[in-house]
Amino acid sequence: MKKTLRMLSAVLALALLLTVTAFAEVPAEDRAGNAIAVPAEVNRIISLAPSTTQVLEALGLTDRLVAVDTQTPMYVEGTSELPQFDMMAPDVEQIAALEPDVVFTSGMSYLDDNPFAALTEMGVCVIEIPSSESIAAVEEDIAFIAACLGKDAEGQAIVDEMQAKIDELAAIGAAIEDRKTVLFEISALPYIYSFGAGTFLDEMITLIGAENVMGDQAGWLAVNEEDAVAANPDVILTNVNYIEDSVGEILSRAGWDTVTAVVNQDVHYIDNGASSLPNQHIVDAMIEMAVAVYPEAYAAYAE
């Protein structure tokens, strides 16, 4: 009798899951708040943001891609042969000629105006996903993309796995008492850029048990060299990949020989793609950051 009841419960649970999946609500607004009408069937996708393309890859939907942005092939295998568009200056006529069902875009395409207005007027579903500034918002982006494509359960699975790993790392970070200070450079001299509060990278530094030396400021920041030296970080992280040896460049800077991170040679490169593209791979960057800052506490995560 009990076995029969368990089987009945399992059947009912499965039926409920299938019902929810079948009637999952397709978003009526994109992540920028624009009204959208996602087609009932989406078989032809253009992704003009590598962060979005990586989500599509995780959802198993790269076979539906008919074009990508010029940066995507660096991050997603099998996309180099597809037509490619400059996300900063997309050729709308050529995009339209590919007859996409949806076009995913990012805030990078809207720096001056809306280059996709004509495409929207043609009836193409253009879906804007601005770069999110918190871990929670990044997870919402993933769920949103999945919901647009009828992959709600798969999207939630990605988010759940991502959050579980973040929780693991954060639990270790919460137990760290002697918190190190960190400067994270996203652009090197002569124009140092970093970030303060209100960014997912700042959240990640805090969660691993460290302190962002720029945390008393907000958003993405231009940093004066004198201020960076005066902050005297214990650790310097960099994701600069446009120079050959970004770690060596920091260690050899004139006037930085009194900075604790330089004195101790505690300067580390963090994967640029994982730390700059807002999607599930930020967890990979968070692991790299944790191991770099606290190698003993996070030894289990070291490769």
Q: To the nearest whole percent, how much of the chain has pLDDT over 70?
A: 92
User: 8-67 pLDDT, tens per residue?
Assistant: 444 444 444 444 344 468 999 999 999 999 999 999 999 999 999 999 999 999 999 999
The amino acid occupying position 293 is V
The secondary element (H helix, E strand) that includes residue 11 is helix 2-22
User: 159-184 pLDDT, tens per residue?
Assistant: 999 999 999 999 999 999 999 999 99
Read off the pLDDT of each residue in 187-204 and give the average, rounded to a whole number. 97
- Match 């960190």 to its residue by tokens: 182
CA dist., res. 39 & res. 33, Å (int): 18
**What does the pLDDT read at residue 17?**
43
User: 250-260 pLDDT, tens per residue?
Assistant: 999 999 999 99
Q: What is the pTM of this model?
A: 0.89
DSSP 70: S
Q: Which two tokens stand for residue 87?
A: 């996300």
Q: Tell me the pLDDT of the chain averaged across its residues.
A: 92
pLDDT of residue 2 exceeding 70, the answer is no
Q: Please give the radius of gyration of the chain, using alpha carbons only, rounded to the nearest integer.
A: 22
User: 93-132 pLDDT, tens per residue?
Assistant: 999 999 999 999 998 888 778 889 899 999 999 999 999 9
Interior CA angle at 136 toward 135 and 139, to 5°? 90
Distances from the Cα of 220 to the Cαs of 61, 116, 158, 192, 224, in angstroms?
32, 27, 27, 11, 13
